[in-house]
Amino acid sequence: MTGSDARVGDLDERTVLAHILDRVGPTGALLGPGDDAAVLAAPGGRIVASVDTLVHGPDFRTAWTDGFSLGWKAAAVNLADIAAMGARPTSLLVALAMPPETTLGEVGAIADGLRAACAELAPGCAVDGGDLAVSDTLTVAVTALGVLEGSGPVTRSGARDGDVLAVSGRLGPAARGLSLLFERFRDGAGRPIPPRTADLTADERGDLDAQLRPRPPIADGRRAAEAGATAMMDVSDGLLLDAARMARASSVTLDIDSAALGGDASTALTGGEDHALLATFPAGVRLPGSFAAIGRVREGAAPGVLVDGEEPRGRGGWDPYQDWDRGRG
Enumerate the known binding-site residues: 36, 50, 52, 59, 81, 130-131, 156, 234, 236-237, 273, 318
Annotated binding site for substrate: 59, 273, 318
Binding site as annotated, residues for Mg(2+): 36, 50, 52, 81, 131, 234, 237
Q: Binding site for ATP: residue ranges? A: 130-131, 156, 236
Give the CB-side neighbour count of residue 35, counting CA atoms within 13 A: 9
**Is 260 exposed, middle or buried, given 0-12, 13-18 or 19+ CB atoms closer than 10 A?**
middle
